[in-house]
Structure 1
Amino acid sequence: MSDKLVMALVGFGNSANRYNLPYLLENENVEIKTIYTPSLNKRPADQDALVARGIQFTDDLDAVVNDPEIQFVSVITPAPSHFELAKRLLEAGKNVMVEKPFVTSVAEGKALIELANEKGLLITPFQNRRFDGEFMELQYVLDHGFIGEPIEFESHFDYFRPGQLQTQARKLTVPSTVMVCTRWTKSLSSGVSQKLWRTTSSQSRIQKG
């Protein structure tokens, strides 16, 4: 058994190649053993590069489910498939991370959490956005008390473009905005306290390509 965390990816689309593999491959504590995809050689150049690094590809999910060396699996497939895939992996004794959106209903989410707890396993949604620049900046601001107690948090990606093709929308440079409303109490010289409200926003430009 490897000293590293041995894991597999279920899915080999944009999320796997943009938001999972670039970071996992740089982590010396992680070993990616297997990538499952129902469409082998759909991305031949990417697949060949990973095979050259010792990662095996399969279109048989059982190769992941039944491999005792694999401890952790990242499910990176279309949302409607998340529940059944995560459930099967948990039942096989795997710790599981699921791409956003986690599942399609509250009932499915509760069922997965209950199953994971019963088996002493981890089930978690993918939380890569917590490491985006604007989130890290906001965390620093809050940790250092530069603004007051948060009372409302809003985050959105302005990606919706009615009337445009998906391929065209992906080429747009769109703003990502994080806004937090805060409240704190300031003592004035007269000894009177006032509740002050403030809105702080942070924007970054994200190239969709």
Structure 2
Amino acid sequence: MPVISDAKILLISTHGFEQSELEFPRDQLRAKGAKLHVATPVGNAIKGWEGSDWGREAEADAKISDVSVEDYDALVIPGGQINPDLLRVDEDVLELVKAFHDQGKTIAAVCHAPWVLVEAGILKGRDATSYHSIKTDVINAGAAWKDEAVVVDQGIITSRQPGDLKVFVSKIVEEIEEGAHRRKAA
């Protein structure tokens, strides 16, 4: 059975990520011993959004188009309004999300990040949650939307907001330690 300290996790993001939604999972998963890489569209550092203004930078380890799903056990996508809106129109991102899905690997998206899962077409017929303002988008994608801190459906983890980050990270650990998931088609 896999353990979190042996896990390799990919976090994808671009400018405008919600500060806590990148930093908390990144730092907590690394503290638990996981090897976590941050990949961005161009492989450079990205700037977060905190409150009503730009926040701190996050260093990048790789360019999204250069990473391989085979090298990772899980994918994490932080929210914010800007970050997932930009990621969901990036073909490299959508191909990567679909590849993680097709291989039964853990996928975790918080806040507005389920927009990326909607665009990748992997939420149909699944239970999911999101930030309340994109609830209709998630429902229109065919998911059963739940107003819960964390929702898991066959290794796809979704959470609503920064206040849910502790349970979000706990579920990421739990799902990785369960191993690959056999999924019905979305």
TM-score (norm 2): 0.45
Structure with the bigger percentage of strand: 1
TM-score (norm 1): 0.41
Larger Rg computed on CA atoms: 1
Task: Name which structure has the greater RCO, CA cutoff 8 Å, separation 6+.
Answer: 2
